[in-house]
Structures are given as structure tokens and as C-alpha cells.
Structure 1
Amino acid sequence: MKNIFFILLSLVFTSITYAHEGGHGTPTKNWSFVNNNETIKADFIMKVGDMVYLSNENNEVLTFNYSEFKEQDQNYISEKANFINNLNFTKESHRLKTFDYSILLLLTGILVFVFSLFSWKTKPKKYFVTYNLFSASLIMMGCANTKSSKVLKMAANDIPFLESVFGVFNKVNTRHDDQYFYVESDGIPEHEMMTGITNWQQQVPVDHDYSGNNAWAIPLQPELAENTLSTKENFMKGAIAIAVNGIPIFNPLNNRGEDANVIGELDKWGGHCGRADDYHYHLPPTHLQTKVGEDRPIAFALDGFAVYGETTEELDENLGRFTSDSTYQYHAVKKYPYLIAAMKGKVELNPRTQAPENEIMPQAKTRGVRPDLRPLRGAEIIDFENPEPHQYSLSYTVNSQIHKINYGWDTDGNYNFEFVNPDGTTEKSHYKRN
């Protein structure tokens, strides 16, 4: 009887320790750095791209670049990161198996408890106690296993709040159904564009019809993803968020995996034009805070979570944090990855795309009016004017000589371009959007 009792106690203890994830106490590893002799004691959390996250004895999250560590610690980090990635790869199938196992434990525990009730009068009381302990251990193990499969329920997006934020901009229209909040615009922001670009592909901003079935869609009920998708390894095609002025926000990395900001592709507002002459941001448009307010979102990610400006609050590895309103929000930071280091929420992927150039669905599409062009070496955009509605003038320099592109469109879909050379000669092109 004593042996059975101790076995049951062991089962109960095992169930409790299994339910406890992670550990507490003093960190166990000393870390050394290339540029100084100082060491720190901390535990490894994760590696995201080139960034390494550690936790010190005060449970503070420390971040370092992978290259800052000595070779021995770099090898340790790589081994740990690969181990975690392999675990994440099999996480889904393991979770499903655990769920079935937990149900079996719970049902068995309940059956044993019911059996003990029937045996109360026919068996000695010591058997009743034994059955109850055994039943309790089974139920506790079942509950411990099901804890890990629970998903935190996020609050739904508040439609009046969304309408008020996007409603600040007159050119933006919104609507919604039971699943999505839709954002409609013509793809042209109110602010100036293009000035400051030093790495230019000769594209200029034209209007795009982001309306009707081609509107941007924000999920009304965001859900946390089981496995976040890093923007360093995903989403190099299409938008990852929509700014509150109706302009899409793309991955800070271009489709070649380069930081578009660092290599001079972006203007003073963090945007540029794609091959379809579509203007979009690659940086968080924090300048919009002057219109919407510093305490309101500047964008919404396509997983449904809001994007705010910079903050002094501690952010997680995705550049976001949970709030007291039972939701999650991203924040902008000054350096790469700038915003949304990884998608915290669930997103549907276009099955015709593959990482790193996979894209989120639904995704509004662009329709260019002229062939895409190649980069113009040595060009710098110095001015961009909007003399009248739908008419623009872009000035750029090459070898200190000023060139101009005067262009515009009418309501019938006619697009006219005039290219002005430094000597005053011009070339004209006409395009028709069907």
C-alpha cells in the first residue's frame, strides 16, 4: 500500500512540474564579447536574424548583434537557435498529440473517481483514498497538458475606433463586413513624395484603385499565431500593413533582402514607388502622428494588430507588446527592423508564393500604366511638386545637371509624361489605363 501511495505522489509531482514551463533563478552562462574583456551572466532566449536575445538575473531582456560575441559563443548561439527552430517545426503535430493524450487522462481520471464512489460501501476506506489519489493525479496531468494548447483570446478591433483613425484623412473611405474592415484609397498621400531618394528606379507615383474588391482588408478579430513569421525571412512581396492614410506599408527589406532605407531607396517620408508606379512605405510613417495624435495608431498590420509610433515601454522580439485592453500592438523603432519584426498574429499566405517572397492574403493589387524601368545610376531626386490636381513635376540631378519629369492623368485613364532634359529639349509619352 505504501508503495502505491508513493507512486501516486510521484505522479502528482510529475504532473505539477510538467505544467511549469521555463525556470527561475540565477542565469547559468557567461558571455564574452569581441570588442571588450567584459563578460555578462545571462540565459539564451532566442536568435532572430542577426539579433540575439538574452535574459539576465533580473529577468531583463538584453539584445546584442550576433557579430558582437566571440566565436565560441557564436557557435553556442547557432546550436541553440537550430535546436529551437527544429522544435518549432514539429510543434503543431506534437500539440495535437498532447491534446488527445490529455483528453484520455481526464476521462480516465473521472472514470476512476466514479468507480471509487461505487466502491465506498463495498471496499475498505483505504481503497477509496487510493482510488481518489489516483484519479486526482490523472486529472491533474490531463489539465497540465491541455494548458499548453490554450490560445489567448484577443479582443476584437473596435469598428468606431478604426473609423475615427482612418477618418482623419479625407481621401480614405472605409467599410466593413463580419470579417474585415476595408480601407479604400487612390494610393496617393497628402504629403510630398520622392524627395531625397538617391537610389532610384525611375518610377513615379500614380494613382491606384484600392477600392471595392481591391480594398485593403484588416481582420476584425485578430488571432495570435502559434509560430510567428519573421519579416526578415518572409513577406518580401506585397504589403505587411496599411497606414491610416490609406498607403500600404511594405517590408523594410526590398525583394532582394536589402534594407531599402540604408541603400537610399526611400524618400524623406519613408516611401518610394514600386515597378507599377505605386507609392508605398517601407518605414513606419511616424510623421502621420502630427495628424492622428501620438496616442493613436499610425497603421494596422494585415494580421489585425495596430501599429503605433515609438514608445518607452519594453517591447518583445516582434517589436510589440500586450496591452491592458486584451490586445496586442506593434511599435516603431528607429533602427532595423523598424516595425513588425515578426507577425504576431495569424495571416493567410498566398499559396502561389514562397518565402522569402511570400505575401499575405487578402492583398490589394496594383495596375501599372507603363513598362517598369531600370535604376538610373547617380540620380538624386531633389524636388517634387503638385501644381494642380493629378499633375506632378519631379526634378532630379545626374552629374549635377537637372532633369525633370512632368506628368499627370485625367479621369478617362489617360497618362501623359513629358521628360525635360538639361538643355531644354523634351520627349513625350502617352499611356492609357484600361
Structure 2
Amino acid sequence: MKYKILVIFFFVLFGNLFAHEGGHGVLLKQWSLRANNEIINADFIKYENNKVWLMASDHSLKTYKISDFSNTDQEFIKTKNEIIQSLNGEHISDLKSQSLSKWNILLIALGGFLLCFSAFKLVKRKQIVHLTYGTLGLGIILFVSCKNIKTDKESVINVPQNDISIMQSFFEKFDGVETHSDENYLYVSSNGLPDHDMMVGISNWQQQVPINQNYTGSNSWAIPIHPKLAEHPLSTKTNLLKGAIAVAVNGIPIFNPLNNRGEDANAIGELDNWGGHCGRADDYHYHLPPLHLQDQVGAGNPVAYAVDGFPVYGKTTDTLDEYLGKMNSDGSYQYHSIEKYPYFIAGMRGEVKLDLKTEAPENQVFPQPRTHELRPALRPLRGAEIIDFESLGNNAYSLIYSLDSKEYIINYHWDSDDKYTYEFISPDGTSSIETYKPRK
């Protein structure tokens, strides 16, 4: 009878310790194919180069084009693929957690062995001293269980919501920057042009010049009011090479420090003295945290907000995590800047929604404002260096660059009808005129 009671006790104990929710049955997903309205049942395996691999119930692999699937299934495939890529990108932390899990299992097994050994000795020898082994074993099991519960609780941290009025006070220090909000986002509107000089210092130039952008209304920048810590943060080394990852308090977007080719834009001379340059749509943006704004917002205040909702600050002597941020005592999180690559936001610590039309590494956070295309994309002008830039009045600018020890000038302006006029002046004084209207 004693043995039966002991067996039942240990069965219940270990049944509770190793129980988990959910079964192990296989439930295949239904997929809708456009070609002949066919419905198939299969498991998703992978998505690569616009091809989708599925495994049928007979374990045979089937390959389809992404375009073969319904729009709903295409969105599912891309979202699933992004999750897999995110998990793969964080394989180091996964390995750490697996290692911890193995140690936990070994400790529980040791505790179970000590409990069994103690029970055996008690029944056979009937000496109270053998309770020591059981007590030690039970202590090990309880320690591991409590540690796991604590870890699970710590991984779910409630981050306080952003104070909208404080955020607005930073952005609205700058002329032309306006904000409004709804229950989810603070929206930042601007014309995309900072109140400082631009372009000077660029030695790797693709012939773009900064023009205004319509970052207003539904095309404004959106910053989450209720940020949440991501379970699997996206590395900015292998993700988000397209679109902005933060918005400076002067209304200028900040892109990944890497350009869309995966190069450090700062290291190869693409950035001006303020850490910015123009994209293909002649849209000015930073690739470095704009620390020069610290004087205007005040010491100890953020110079930007990341698109996950967390603020970006200047340099600090505090210890930073692998994402170049830190947790505060109130549960809030903030990024900081450092001198060398990755400069800031090494990983998107907060939850973000990805644009399903983009793929890693050239994926981007959704929503993102649209830029208006004007001139055709141009090639780099090898050997050119921008040496001067100035305002000529309302909506009018002059850019001077040096090439082969000669100076070239681009004077340009736009009017109220969105007509953009460019005058290109050669070193010998000859000039040519080009005019453009934004593409609809």
C-alpha cells in the first residue's frame, strides 16, 4: 500500500511539473489557389524568392509561386515568414534560453531522483534521517519552478504609456512642426525640411537636392502612444533598411544607419555635417541621431522618438543593453546614442507592425508616410563634394559642389503650383534649366 501511495504521489507531482497546454495533433491549414479555385491542405515550410514550400499530409513537398495564392493567404505567408526571420535573427538569445531549459530539466531530474531515493530508503530502512534527501530534492524542484515563474513574469513588463503633452512639447519647439493624436498614435506633421543647413560635407553624392515633402494629415509620421516591449526585437542590421526607424523632434525622419545596400552611410561619405542626406525622392532624412538638436530641446530631453514609441536620447555613461537602450525604474524604456556604428537603436526593442509589401532586409515599419517623386533617380557623381548650401529666400535654395577642382552650382525653387525649376550653372558660366511637376 505504501508503494502504491508513493507511485501515485510522484505521478501527480511530475504530471503537474511537466504538463503543458495544447495537444500534439496535426491540423493542416487550408490554402486557396487562384488558378482553378483549388483548396489544398498543407503545412507552411518556407517562403523564398517569391516561391512557397508546403508539406502535404503524406509528407510530400509542394512548391508554388506566391502569386498562385489568394490575397489573404499571401498576407499570411509573408507575416509567417517575417516572424520566422525575426526568430532566426535572434538565434543567440534562443540558444541561451534553450540552454537554461536543459539545465532546468536536469535539476528537476536530480530533484526527482533524490525524492525517489528518499522514499525508497524510508520504506526499506524506516529511518527518519533519509528524509534529508527528499527535502533536498523537493527544494531543488521548487527552486527551479519558482525561478521559471519569476522569469516568465519578468518577460512581461507593462510599459507606461507616453505622455502626449510632453511629446508634443518637444516637437512643437520647432517652427512648422505640428502634432495631433488619436487613441493609438501621436502624429507628427512637417514639410520635411530642417531649419539648419543641409548637404555640406557629402563626398559620396547621388545628385539629389532637398525639397519639401507633404508629411501632413493622413501622411504624417505616426508614433505609438502605448509602446510594448517586443518578445523578439528586430535587429536593425538585418531588418528595416527601408523607411524610417525614428522621427527627430524637428519633424525629420531618421533612417537606419545602414543604407539599402547594407553599408554604413556615415562611413562611406554619404552624410552631411548633420548626419543626413537626400533619398531618391529628394527627401531629406537623417541616418544618425541628430544630437545637434540637444541644445534646442534641452539637456536630458529626447532628440527623437523611435517608431516603436520609445524616446531616443543622446550619449550616456549608463550601461546600455544590446539594443543601445535601458529600462528605467518606472518600467519605461529609452534608447541612447554612441559614437560608432550602430550609433543608436541596434534593435527595435518595441513591437512594430511591418509593411507586408516589403521583405527583409529591405522591410519597413508600417505605417510610413509617402514621399512624392519628382526627378528621375540619378547615379553617384564620382569625385564630387558638396561645399556650400544656402537659402535664397522662400522655397529657394542654392547648392555648390566641387568636382575636379571646379565649382558647379545648382539653384532651384518651387512655386505655389508645385512647379519645380532647376538651374545648373557650369564653371564657365553657362547654364541649363529643367522644370518638373510631382508625379501623381
Q: 2:389 is matched with which residue? A: 384
Q: 1:4 is matched with which residue? A: 6
Q: CA separation of 1:147/1:314 partners in 2, compared to 1, >3 Å: closer, same or farther?
A: closer
Offset at residue 386 of structure 1 (A)? 0.3
SS of structure 1 residue aligned to 2:273: coil
Q: 2:66 is matched with which residue? A: none
Q: 1:184 is matched with which residue? A: 189
Q: Does residue 85 of the first structure (1) align with residue 91 of the second (2)? A: yes
Offset at residue 321 of structure 1 (A)? 0.1
Q: 1:165 is matched with which residue? A: 170
Indicate which of 283, 292, 299 corresponds to 2:297: 292
Q: CA separation of 1:316/1:144 partners in 2, compared to 1, >3 Å: closer, same or farther?
A: closer
1:224-303 correspondence runs (5 A): 224-303=229-308
SS of structure 2 residue aligned to 1:4: helix
Q: Does residue 197 of the first structure (1) align with residue 202 of the second (2)? A: yes
Is the Cα contact below 8 Å between 1:390 and 1:408 reproduced in 2? yes
Indicate which of 391, 407, 413 corresponds to 1:408: 413
Q: 1:100 is matched with which residue? A: none
Indicate the percent of aligned positions where both proteins have the same amino acid: 53
Q: Matched residues in 2 for 1:190 and 1:325: separation? A: 35
SS of structure 1 residue aligned to 2:410: strand
Is the Cα contact below 8 Å between 1:297 and 1:308 reproduced in 2? yes
Offset at residue 4 of structure 1 (A)? 3.1
TM superposition score normalised by structure 1: 0.70
Q: Matched residues in 2 for 1:338 and 1:5: separation? A: 59
Q: 2:114 is matched with which residue? A: none
SS of structure 2 residue aligned to 1:377: coil
Is the Cα contact below 8 Å between 2:354 and 2:365 reproduced in 1? yes
Is the Cα contact below 8 Å between 1:15 and 1:144 reproduced in 2? no
Question: Which runs of 5 or more residues in structure 1 are unaligned?
Answer: 17-80, 96-133
Alpha-carbon displacement from aligned partner over 1:111-168 (angstroms, at most 9, x marks no partner): xxxxxxxxxxxxxxxxxxxxxxx9xx99x95994585265111000001100111111
Q: 1:148 is matched with which residue? A: 152
The one-letter code matched in structure 2 to 1:4 is L
Q: 1:356 is matched with which residue? A: 361
Alpha-carbon displacement from aligned partner over 1:286-336 (angstroms, at most 9, x marks no partner): 000010012100000000000000111110000000012321000011100
Offset at residue 369 of structure 1 (A)? 1.3
Is the Cα contact below 8 Å between 1:199 and 1:264 reproduced in 2? yes
Offset at residue 353 of structure 1 (A)? 0.8
Q: CA separation of 1:337/1:373 partners in 2, compared to 1, >3 Å: closer, same or farther?
A: same
TM superposition score normalised by structure 2: 0.69
Q: Matched residues in 1 for 2:436 and 2:280: separation? A: 15
The one-letter code matched in structure 1 to 2:377 is D
Q: CA separation of 1:165/1:325 partners in 2, compared to 1, >3 Å: closer, same or farther?
A: farther
Q: CA separation of 1:190/1:148 partners in 2, compared to 1, >3 Å: closer, same or farther?
A: same
Q: Matched residues in 1 for 2:339 and 2:201: separation? A: 18
Q: Matched residues in 2 for 1:263 and 1:83: separation? A: 26
Is the Cα contact below 8 Å between 1:88 and 1:227 reproduced in 2? no
Q: CA separation of 1:151/1:355 partners in 2, compared to 1, >3 Å: closer, same or farther?
A: same
SS of structure 1 residue aligned to 2:358: coil
Q: Matched residues in 1 for 2:151 and 2:241: separation? A: 35
Q: 1:324 is matched with which residue? A: 329
Alpha-carbon displacement from aligned partner over 1:328-353 (angstroms, at most 9, x marks no partner): 00001110000000000000001111
The one-letter code matched in structure 2 to 1:173 is E
Is the Cα contact below 8 Å between 1:203 and 1:275 reproduced in 2? yes
Offset at residue 8 of structure 1 (A)? 5.8
Offset at residue 387 of structure 1 (A)? 2.0
Q: Matched residues in 2 for 1:342 and 1:10: separation? A: 43
Q: 1:104 is matched with which residue? A: none
The one-letter code matched in structure 2 to 1:291 is Q
Q: Matched residues in 1 for 2:193 and 2:156: separation? A: 39
Offset at residue 270 of structure 1 (A)? 0.1
Alpha-carbon displacement from aligned partner over 1:177-232 (angstroms, at most 9, x marks no partner): 00000000000000000000000000000000001111000000000100011100
Q: Matched residues in 2 for 1:83 and 1:344: separation? A: 13
Q: Matched residues in 2 for 1:144 and 1:208: separation? A: 51
Q: CA separation of 1:274/1:429 partners in 2, compared to 1, >3 Å: closer, same or farther?
A: same
Q: Matched residues in 2 for 1:83 and 1:321: separation? A: 21
Q: Matched residues in 1 for 2:164 and 2:197: separation? A: 30
Offset at residue 86 of structure 1 (A)? 7.7
Q: Matched residues in 2 for 1:356 and 1:172: separation? A: 31
- Number of matched pairs: 325
Q: 1:340 is matched with which residue? A: 345
> How big is the alpha-carbon RMSD for the aligned residues of Structure 1 and Structure 2?
3.1
Q: Matched residues in 1 for 2:160 and 2:386: separation? A: 44
Q: Matched residues in 2 for 1:412 and 1:173: separation? A: 23
Q: Matched residues in 2 for 1:245 and 1:196: separation? A: 21
SS of structure 2 residue aligned to 1:148: helix
